[in-house]
Amino acid sequence: MDSASRLLTYQGIPVWRHVQIIQWAVQIVSGILVVALVVWFFSNMVGAIQDRDIPSGFSFLSREYQTPIGEHFIPYESSDTFLYALLVGITNTAIVAVAGVFLATALGIFIGVSRLSSNWIVSKLAMVYIEFFRNVPLLVQLFFWFYIVLELPAIRESFVVADAFYLSNRGFSMPWPKATEYSVAVIWLGLAAVAIVAGWLVYRRQARMEEQTGRSGYPLIYSFATALVIGAIAWLILSFAGGSSPFYISMPEPQGRFGNIVGGFTARAGLLVLLTGLVMYTASFIAEIVRAGIQSVGRGQTEAARALGLSPMSTLRSVTFPQAMRVIIPPLISQFLNLTKNSSLGGAVAYSDLTNIAVTMTQTAPAVSIFMLIMASYLAMSLTWSLIGNLYNRHIRFVGG
């Protein structure tokens, strides 16, 4: 029977009630709608740009920026290009994001576990923390921290510890390793990475041996020793070859008539305020996620672990937490994304994050193009977090049945 006659004599479900056909139709229609909407938005934007003679294009990227950037962790001169200035902004945002994510996760886990503590005071304190920081808008919290930092002593009356740590309302300074010569430092960092990889390989080998033979392989000790020895040998060779060690410790020191700190590492007030605000805010959400994750692990697991004689700490570390991770990771990643994107509020407290720098750029370059680049940058950062999260998620999922 050919297909045409089969169609004519079709006696199955009528087309308008055929689930598959309906599903396809819905897909096609929604696809068309989405594409149409995107096309309409885009053409509307292009039309408006033309109508109003709004400058666009990307040729400005290779021009000199000639504008100050308050805070930069990679060297920056006003003669650098717009493109490089954007890179400075991306590093600034990335630094806040990474530091914020680590601190917020640590604090969030601590608060989340405290929330489940059998100690009434601890549990209630954690609850108060969560409810307060979760329910007050982040911008308001940032201004709160901003005014708290302003209340710190002025630069001349800084809190000083051992002539090495300075805290004032302009920021916090501490000693920091600095490269004596960039090329040598980079070589050593490369060798240090090799040392870490070697240490990790030793750890795996010893751990496997321990598993197979039951004899103690001391994986931690062996791996650390390997890494240290390789790193130290590299350091010594480079020091002798180059005449000076790859890094030296730079000490912060007040200088000039204003007493501003030179040397060491200085986290300026803007960074302190932004980081504190982001960490406290995000930790409250992470705490709830951790609590939900821990509570999702069946009670029997904990009871069994306790019955085997594991201490509460070991139970949490070896039994409850590994299982809770599966529930925790996906929402945790979305908190990382939130933190990264929320760092765009930096401008309010004088931190030169990507958005802050970009807004300054719109004075001398086309705003539309700049905001496209900004969106792309945040998208790239968010996708990186998602990628890391997904990889980790795959790593910890249930294996087999």
- Rounded to whole angstroms, the Cα distance separating 265 from 271 reads 12
Which residue stretch of 105-113, 217-225, 344-352, 387-395 sits at the interface with other proteins (rule: CB under 8 A)? 344-352
394 is an interface residue for other proteins by CB under 8 A: no
111/286 Cα distance (integer angstroms): 9
220-279: contacts with other proteins (CB under 8 A) = 255-258, 260, 262, 268-270
Q: Which of 109, 163, 161 is nearest to 317 (CA)?
A: 109
123 near other proteins, rule: CB under 8 A: no
Helix 82-115, helix 367-396: angle, nearest 10: 40
Nearer to other proteins, 158 or 315 (CB): 158
Instruction: For residue 165, count other CB atoms closer than 10 A to its CB.
Output: 15
Shortest distance in whole angstroms from residue 366 CB to other proteins: 7
Residues from 284 through 313 that contact other proteins (CB under 8 A): none
Which of positions 134-153 make contact with other proteins (CB under 8 A)? 146-147, 149-151
Nearer to other proteins, 288 or 353 (CB): 353
H helix runs in 116-160, sequence order: 120-135, 138-150
Closest CB 242 distance from other proteins, rounded Å: 29
Minimum separation from the CB atom of position 198 to other proteins (A): 42
Between CA 290 and CA 293 the distance in angstroms is 5
How far is it, in rounded angstroms, from Cα 383 to Cα 378? 8
The window from 65-73, 122-130, 176-184, 389-397 that contacts other proteins (CB under 8 A) reads 65-73
Rounded least distance, CB 369 to other proteins, Å: 11
Unique residue bearing structure tokens 């599903």: 23
Closer to other proteins by Cβ: residue 27 or 78: 78
User: Using CB under 8 A, which of 137, 363, 395, 400 touches other proteins?
Assistant: 363
Query: Which residue among 61, 83, 155, 187 contacts other proteins (CB under 8 A)?
Result: 155
Q: Is 341 one of the binding residues for other proteins (CB under 8 A)?
A: no
User: Given the complex with other proteins, which of 238 and 278 has the nearer CB atom?
Assistant: 278
Is position 366 an interface residue for other proteins (rule: CB under 8 A)?
A: yes
Q: Which residues contact 127 (CB under 8 A, 6 or more apart)?
A: 115
Buried b (16+ CB within 10 A) or exposed e, 100-134: bbebbbebbbebbbbbbeeeeeeeeebeebbeebe
169 counts as binding other proteins under rule CB under 8 A:
yes
Task: Determine if 2 is a binding residue for other proteins (CB under 8 A).
Answer: no
Token readout for 35 is 């594409």
Q: By the 8 A CB rule, do 365 and 82 touch?
A: yes
Distances (CA, A) of 9 to 5, 22, 157: 6, 21, 94
User: CB within 8 A of 250, min separation 6: which ones?
Assistant: 175, 176, 177, 178, 263, 264, 265
Stretch binding other proteins (CB under 8 A), from 106-114, 122-130, 245-253, 356-364:
356-364
C-alpha dist (Å) from residue 401 to 249, 305, 325, 397, 398? 53, 22, 18, 11, 7
List, in order, residues 6 or more apart from 175 with CB less than 8 Å away: 164, 249, 250, 251, 252, 264, 265
Closer residue to other proteins in complex, CB, 203/351: 351
Per CB under 8 A, the list member of 27, 318, 364, 390 interacting with other proteins is: 364
Cβ of residue 57: shortest distance to other proteins, in angstroms?
Answer: 11
Question: Largest Cα–Cα distance in the chain?
Answer: 98
- 51 in contact with other proteins (CB under 8 A): yes
Binding region for other proteins (CB under 8 A): 14, 40, 43-44, 47-48, 51-55, 66-70, 78, 146-147, 149-151, 154-155, 169-170, 255-258, 260, 262, 268-270, 347-350, 352, 356, 359-360, 362-364, 366-367
